[in-house]
Structure 1
Amino acid sequence: MSNSINFENAHHIILPNGMRAMLCHTPSATESFVSMSVRAGHFYDPDDCQGLAHLLEHMLFMGSRHLPKPNAINHFIEQHGGSLNAWTGTEYANYHYHCSSDAIAQTLPAFADMLRQPLFEEDALKKEINNIHSEFEFKKKDDLRRLYQIHKETCNPSHPFAKFSVGNSDTFSEHAIDELKRRLRTMHTIFYCGSNMCLCIASPMPTLQLEALINQCFGSMETGELAQDDWPALYTQNELGIQININPLQSAKRMIVTFALPALQNDFKCKPLNYISHLIGDEGEGSLLAYLKQKDWALNLIAGSGIEGDRFKDFNVSFQLTSNGLKNKFEVVKALFSYIDLIKEGAHEVWRYREKAQLNALALEYEESVKPLGLVTEYAQHQFIFSAKEVKQLRSTIGSYDQKVLEHALSFFTPKNLRLKVISKEVKTDTICAFYKAEYSVEKIHEDLLNVFSSPNVISALKLPPPNPYLGDEYQLILPETGFNIPNKLVDTGDYRFWFAQDQQFHSPKGDIYISFDATSFSDTLEAVAAKRIWLGALNDYLQAKYYRAEIAGLHYRIYGHQAGFTLHTRGFTNQQTLLASQLLDAVTSYVPDERAFEHHKTLQIQSLQNALLNKPTNRLFSRLSVLIQRNTQAPVELLDIIEDIDYDKMLSCRESAFRCYFIEAFMHGNWASEEAKFFAEKIRTLNDKAGGAPLSRAVSKLPIGDTLYHEVTCDHDDAAIVLYFQAPTPSLTDTALCMVLEQMLAAPFFNALRTEQQLGYIVGTGYVPHNQHPGMAFYIQSPQCSPKQLLDATTEFLFQQLDEIEFYRFYWPTIQQNLVKQLEERDLTLSMKSQRLWVSLGTQDLEFNRNSKLAARIKTLSFEEIQAFADQLAKRERCGELVLYSSGKFKAIPTLQKRTINSIAEF
């Protein structure tokens, strides 16, 4: 579906009221995608009412002339097979939704009504202020949000970026409700007008019909004016050449070097920033990162991200530092400038630029996992910046070399144009930022140091990347072979199984290889799991520079742990993929970390586990749910106690034991002939001729029916949170179908009742939660103002009331049934998604590879009376196991009986 949106052939119209619209005809699509961009972001907030644009976005969902009830628009879109969402950014607000292909004629008028005729009811306004405040409270312990606020306080105070964009009950309570309502109406009248809005739609509706529909829906909007964007500079000389020291909540050691640029990201012809970030972010041998790792100064480097607008761009080079790197932070900056000098010197080398353009072309031609709604949303906003002719070229222009443009872009990468953020618990601070209470300090970087950065020493270890050996000249498709469209077992020796399937659907020169190792010595104790994590960290680090060229040529790999051992997964172009997989396999079985690598990765694992304990309460609860339900899965808090005591010899002994006896299951799927697969299967067998193990169980823990169990998770967070989890008795199609259906039925009412009406918290939701294909469903809330007992009582009261009145849902059942069947019957969207689905089927012994089709068929035959019976049994606690996970925050714990309380994960 995603690749069928052709932006080059889009039809552009301008309505008489000035509204621009871009229409993409997608004749074979099963869905329509709609996005409206409004130049009405937080930059346009009044100085004395900051957060108003965000509040306005929320209020548009709270009822309009034709759909007056709060969130009625959401339910309406959901009934037409889709969902609706919005965001408020710096310069723009955006509203976007998708629906069934044939529902565009019904949904677009409702969407237009929401944007044109909001009601601004006072009760809804009060509730939305509370919701925004809950959203604000929820993010108070988010390091990214705290960093963002410090960024605002250290830019030009006259630039609107300095404003507080979110709003909270304190800022809004400075105005009476009727005054806020008046301001919302004024803002809406000024900004939500034809001249200030751009629409993008991708739909199978014929273009002329769609054009008529758009005119009918939006033609009566006032013309108004395009909002101005003549802001002062984002930074003056006072805000450049500075160092900002920040004390984070997580135990991070990071440094962000920011270069202040004009809006160079809008140069779509040469794309200079893509090229520069490609080189600075290189991770291969000779790269800046490889050098910093060798010096033990940095672990990671990301280049190119940063805030951007229509007239400005921050280019960030973000380093994850070691303790040694933090002490040598200025040496790291010098190395960065030394590398930038190399890029400037090599700007005339056309071949390197053309190789990057070829990589871009390959990525675009064979891209996967593109989200159509995301693209349509981007194109709605692009219409403000680019002409209709330019918009058509945005995705088709790969990059045309222009030395002058590259040199002009590189001219901004100078010491006097930088801002340096040092993020560590070790820095000295003297200021506390507004709203988020994060500690920081600002100092000017000494002129002498800036001069040193301007003339860095040449570092002989640094080199620009050589030609990429993994970049193929041709990517050809193999001929399909009968019988290989589903996985075939090519090898089964007891300790080794190999499956192969050919891609006969996507006609792409790509594929996936999965190789899973089950090893008791990597999974049977906490100590074994901790040793495995350290070994995997060291292994991945060792491979990073070695195989980075393969990564950027579209040959990707991951080596990750699972509950029975670990898996190697390669994906991408099939040219040379078996070679890469063989090289990685050889490293997996032969690589032994030295003592320095062990100590280094042990420290990193401890830091990672400590940071995991700082995650938001709902995240912690769902993570712990997986630990309790999936056997041989460990909680960070348990691993932390063990990992600190593991020594080098223990890690070596676990690794040696694991490779003395293990089981391998492999799966190859994609653009390969069966002979290639057989050859590769034999190669794996030769490399692992002493495997000798058996597959390990992926069993789930069964919860008792009729007795609710309770488990408290201690979190360093003021909010209380609960997750109420129901586990179906069996993984049968009927139990799975009933879980999926009931969760879908209750999702919107649960959100509406507990978030919109009762205002219990910002994070409120439901989810279908399977573990290893065993079905279950969860209801969750996180709240700054209610205790876990209040949250649980409100949840159970809602459930019992709704389950008792399930007859009410008979009217909605056909729509829910239709939407679920549609989701399950959808063909795999990408080759990688299909590979993953088949791989999961192998893991769960679904050897017919059609569980989704069977589920869809079962849902089609499900009667409403079966749903009623399931709801009745659930209400009487006769059908499902129940588990309550909770975090108390600043409140009292839930009083529970000892026999119903899980205190020890291991004992459970």
Structure 2
Amino acid sequence: MRFKIILFFIFLFSVFRSEAIEHKYLTIEDKSDLVILNPLLKNRKTLKLRLSNGLKVYIISDKNADKSAAAIGVLAGSWDDPKEFPGMAHFCEHMLFQGSKKYPNEADYFKFIWDNSGTLNAFTAPDRTLYMFSINHENFDAALDRLSHFFKDPVFDPSNIARELFAVDQEHSKNIENDARRVNMVSKEISNQKHPKAKFSTGNSKTLQSIPPAELRKWYETHYSSNQMALTIYSNLDLNDLKKMVVEKFSLIPNIGKDPLNIDENILSDENAGKMVYIKPISNLQILAMEWELNKKFTRDETKSAALIAYTLTRGQKNSLIENLKKEHLAEDLDVTVDKVGGNQSLLSIEVKLTDLGLQNISKVINRCFEAINNLKNSSIPSYLFHEMESMAKLNYEYQSHEDAFEFVSNNTINLLDEDISTYPKKTLLATNYSSENVLEIINSLTFSNAQFYLIADPKKTKVPLDSEEKWTKAKYTIKDLSPSLKTLLSKNLTNPNIKLPEPNVFIPSNVQIVTPKDNPTSPTNPAKIVSSDFGTIYYLKDDQYQVPQVSYLIQIKDKLFNGSTKAEVLKDIYIKALKEKISPTFYSAMAAGLFPNITSDSYHLKIEIFGYSQKASYLLEEILKEINNFEISKDDFDIYYSSIYKTYENNQTQLPVIQAYNYLYHVLIPSTSTFESKLDTLKNINYKDFIEFKNQLFKKTFIEGFLSGNLTLKQAESIWLDIKDILGQKPFYPKDHYKKEVFIIS
């Protein structure tokens, strides 16, 4: 009888526990109609929940997952810092790692993750903080429990404060000579001081040393609320098991009913609008940046009109803004971005990497950028560019590759915080419709009087004295009005007929079918050698495992000139820079269409790599091969490429000491690898004549090594080889004459 009573109570407890769990969450209907077509990923199962405390949960069960991972984010960040304690949010992030009531040992979480082949990290952004880890599957439950207690019963032990203050201080110190950080700190100092962006978000020991532990806990309890949290779970475990873990561990995180951060103040300062900020860099940089604060309604604009403007200005073509700047020898590169910087605020930025001539003619560069913007005001943006952007976003989701578990949960949580979980990830990835009205409204707001200009360059070259010093990094800067002549010119709203809209992208795939030859002579462990001659060796592997419409080409060119000497390495670097510049419109177009080309080198090879959608990959390779030794380099072109390489070599010597040490070590172990210092010294003794002699002798004798794999047939692979041989196979560079890599053996 006693046994039956025990069984009854066990049954009753199980029922009550089951019902209790059921009442702790709500299953959310998935309203995203995006589908994954990658065969290795399409069997993933997902579940969307909202826990009773308001926490959003996105669970992905994937039997092919190599690790389990989790990331949790909260909409509380550095913009929430109290005025008297800059860096509070960042410091709170550090302190949450230092133990909870259930796991009081401050080293427990780190040790448990690292002892079980895991990775962990966290970061604090202006409006959010993220915590993430990955770990072996069998230890996922225990790791998840440890993470959940960060938000249920953290101890904030005062004895750990001094150590974590040191860690925060070190984090700030290592960033002091980082140019991107320095520019960001200057931008804070000149921004609207009523806006929280102006705060010292990292913090250091000076700003945080007097913080009372009670204040830290109070800040945490008033800013970390489950209704402003999102959690992503990824594992090979079943959905039901993962659901039980999540509900059990995360439902008790307190919900204080916190509202999302809403800031009325503008980020940019009215006082400095339309002015140029000159900043002295640590590295040898020459960058012009322009940024505009967008109307708050466009931060979550479902038409993604700002992103379309950025896409249009950067999409590769021969008559684009950047190609016009290059023809005039004013710029090397250009990027246009739209960044949600926090809350309901976003910035649109244009960044131009200047040549020496561009730095001397900065007004002309600025005017060209505004001419391109004015062109859009007059012609608007054709709908085919919108459809290009949308079709590639959809295709990239459908055929997404397997992503590292740690990165996968981190990226999903960042985005999940901003989108209703029911539609996620559709609204993050795709626009609802094309809106010419929104596009025009944004373009009309991109005036010079609304812009904040930055010129990051050596003041010796700009000849502008710097009279200010940023408080925390000591970066030198000054603020000046634009010249009256430039203001007058920009006020005319001139257009430029030489800067044109992109034509439809020829690289956009229209066919993503998987080729299915009757016979496949290859297997993942046994690729077919389809060429073996004095001219080269080519391997072919038809993909029957991943079944995606993508290919990977790797082509290595051996040439007698590639002898491993430092001079040959430097000349090869200049050649690759020149080749990439000549075919940059093609590269930009291909990358916008999901085809990613690259040209690199090592001591004895020049390498061409192409990865992406298969349909137009061979056409892209043809375009590269057409130019590989047929393009002309003028003395003016050479001077620009030389200057760019010089800056790169020079900046390599200001990298972190560990990177420089690795470079020296690699040189000792493999003597054919040149040091940063030796390459710079050699470059100083190379001139235009040396380069032309080198270029004219290239590819007279070659040996080609290649690996062609993915969604292509044997016949297509053989055709690719014939194209390569026709262009590069003048005379063979016989294997007996190939250079051998020497390796230093430590005994």
Quick one: which amino acid aligns to residue 497 of structure 1?
A: T
Quick one: which amino acid aligns to residue 597 of structure 2?
A: Y
Q: Is the 8 A contact 2:312 2:501 kept in 1?
A: yes
Is the aligned partner of 1:550 residue 2:590? yes
Q: Matched residue of 2:342: which SS?
A: coil
Identify which of 114, 120, 127 aligns with 1:91.
127
Superposed displacement of residue 305, structure 1 = 4.7
**Distance of 1:369 and 1:185 partners within structure 2:** 39
Query: Over residues 707-728 of structure 1, what are the superposed CA-to-partner deviations in whole Å (9 max), with x where a residue is unaligned?
Result: xxxxxxxxxxxxxxxxxxxxxx
TM-score normalised by L of structure 1: 0.73
Q: Hey, what does 1:183 align to over in structure 2?
A: 215
Q: How does 1:740-751 map to 2 (within 5 A)?
A: none
**Distance of 1:623 and 1:133 partners within structure 2:** 28
Q: Hey, what does 1:465 align to over in structure 2?
A: 502
Q: Structure 1 residues 21, 686: CA separation in 2 closer, same or farther (over 3 Å shift)?
A: closer
**Distance of 1:357 and 1:48 partners within structure 2:** 46
Is the aligned partner of 1:436 residue 2:473? yes
Q: Hey, what does 2:514 align to over in structure 1?
A: 477
Q: Is the 8 A contact 2:56 2:421 kept in 1?
A: no
Q: Structure 1 residues 576, 235: CA separation in 2 closer, same or farther (over 3 Å shift)?
A: closer
Query: Over residues 344-367 of structure 1, what are the superposed CA-to-partner deviations in whole Å (9 max), with x where a residue is unaligned?
Result: 333363233223322333333223
Is the aligned partner of 1:389 residue 2:422? yes
**Distance of 2:350 and 2:610 partners within structure 1:** 28
**Distance of 2:686 and 2:705 partners within structure 1:** 29
**Distance of 1:438 and 1:307 partners within structure 2:** 25
Query: Over residues 25-73 of structure 1, what are the superposed CA-to-partner deviations in whole Å (9 max), with x where a residue is unaligned?
Result: 4455443331111222111222111112111111111222232223311
Q: Hey, what does 1:779 align to over in structure 2?
A: none
**Distance of 2:428 and 2:403 partners within structure 1:** 13
Q: Structure 1 residues 565, 219: CA separation in 2 closer, same or farther (over 3 Å shift)?
A: closer
Query: Over residues 851-876 of structure 1, what are the superposed CA-to-partner deviations in whole Å (9 max), with x where a residue is unaligned?
Result: xxxxxxxxxxxxxxxxxxxxxxxxxx
Is the aligned partner of 1:690 residue 2:731? yes
**Distance of 2:486 and 2:402 partners within structure 1:** 45
Q: Hey, what does 1:41 align to over in structure 2?
A: 77
**Distance of 2:325 and 2:498 partners within structure 1:** 10
Identify which of 701, 704, 719 aligns with 2:743.
701
Superposed displacement of residue 521, structure 1 = 1.8
Q: Structure 1 residues 356, 189: CA separation in 2 closer, same or farther (over 3 Å shift)?
A: closer
Q: Structure 1 residues 574, 319: CA separation in 2 closer, same or farther (over 3 Å shift)?
A: same
Q: Structure 1 residues 281, 689: CA separation in 2 closer, same or farther (over 3 Å shift)?
A: same
Quick one: which amino acid aligns to residue 385 of structure 2?
A: R
Identity %: 21
Q: How does 1:225-304 map to 2 (within 5 A)?
A: 225-231=257-263, 232-263=265-296, 266-267=299-300, 269-304=302-337
Identify which of 442, 445, 449 aligns with 1:412.
445
Superposed displacement of residue 375, structure 1 = 4.4
Q: Is the 8 A contact 2:286 2:359 kept in 1?
A: yes
**Distance of 1:583 and 1:444 partners within structure 2:** 45
Q: Structure 1 residues 683, 445: CA separation in 2 closer, same or farther (over 3 Å shift)?
A: closer
Q: Is the 8 A contact 1:337 1:454 kept in 2?
A: no
Q: Matched residue of 2:422: which SS?
A: helix
Is the aligned partner of 1:136 residue 2:169? no
Q: Structure 1 residues 153, 310: CA separation in 2 closer, same or farther (over 3 Å shift)?
A: same
Q: Hey, what does 2:143 align to over in structure 1?
A: 107
Q: Hey, what does 2:492 align to over in structure 1?
A: 455
Alignment gaps of 5+ in structure 1: 706-908
Q: Is the 8 A contact 1:86 1:93 kept in 2?
A: yes
Q: Matched residue of 2:193: which SS?
A: coil
Task: Give the paired residue count.
Answer: 700
Superposed displacement of residue 573, structure 1 = 2.1
Superposed displacement of residue 205, structure 1 = 4.1
Q: Hey, what does 1:680 align to over in structure 2?
A: 720
Q: Structure 1 residues 170, 697: CA separation in 2 closer, same or farther (over 3 Å shift)?
A: farther
Query: Over residues 762-787 of structure 1, what are the superposed CA-to-partner deviations in whole Å (9 max), with x where a residue is unaligned?
Result: xxxxxxxxxxxxxxxxxxxxxxxxxx
Q: Structure 1 residues 5, 133: CA separation in 2 closer, same or farther (over 3 Å shift)?
A: farther
Q: Matched residue of 1:235: which SS?
A: coil
Q: Structure 1 residues 93, 565: CA separation in 2 closer, same or farther (over 3 Å shift)?
A: same
Superposed displacement of residue 515, structure 1 = 1.4
Superposed displacement of residue 207, structure 1 = 4.1
Quick one: which amino acid aligns to residue 217 of structure 1?
A: K
Identify which of 57, 61, 71 aligns with 1:21.
57
Q: Structure 1 residues 519, 383: CA separation in 2 closer, same or farther (over 3 Å shift)?
A: closer
| Most deviating of 156-165 and 521-530 | 521-530
Q: Hey, what does 2:192 align to over in structure 1?
A: 156
Quick one: which amino acid aligns to residue 351 of structure 1?
A: Y
Q: Hey, what does 2:693 align to over in structure 1?
A: 653
Q: Hey, what does 2:703 align to over in structure 1?
A: 663
**Distance of 2:251 and 2:622 partners within structure 1:** 61
**Distance of 2:606 and 2:566 partners within structure 1:** 15
Q: Hey, what does 2:14 align to over in structure 1?
A: none
Q: Is the 8 A contact 1:664 1:691 kept in 2?
A: no
Is the aligned partner of 1:218 residue 2:259? no
TM-score normalised by L of structure 2: 0.88
| Most deviating of 657-666 and 493-502 | 657-666
Q: Matched residue of 1:116: which SS?
A: coil
**Distance of 1:7 and 1:239 partners within structure 2:** 51
RMSD of the TM alignment (CA)?
2.6
Q: Matched residue of 1:285: which SS?
A: coil
Query: Over residues 182-233 of structure 1, what are the superposed CA-to-partner deviations in whole Å (9 max), with x where a residue is unaligned?
Result: 2222222222333343322234444454344333223333322315523222
Q: Structure 1 residues 565, 594: CA separation in 2 closer, same or farther (over 3 Å shift)?
A: farther
Q: Hey, what does 2:231 align to over in structure 1?
A: 199
Q: Is the 8 A contact 2:312 2:381 kept in 1?
A: no
| Most deviating of 192-201 and 156-165 | 192-201
Q: Hey, what does 1:11 align to over in structure 2?
A: 48
Q: Hey, what does 1:73 align to over in structure 2?
A: 109
Q: Is the 8 A contact 2:72 2:229 kept in 1?
A: yes
Q: Structure 1 residues 104, 346: CA separation in 2 closer, same or farther (over 3 Å shift)?
A: farther
**Distance of 2:644 and 2:502 partners within structure 1:** 28
Query: Over residues 539-576 of structure 1, what are the superposed CA-to-partner deviations in whole Å (9 max), with x where a residue is unaligned?
Result: 11111124532332223321112111311112222223
Superposed displacement of residue 286, structure 1 = 0.8
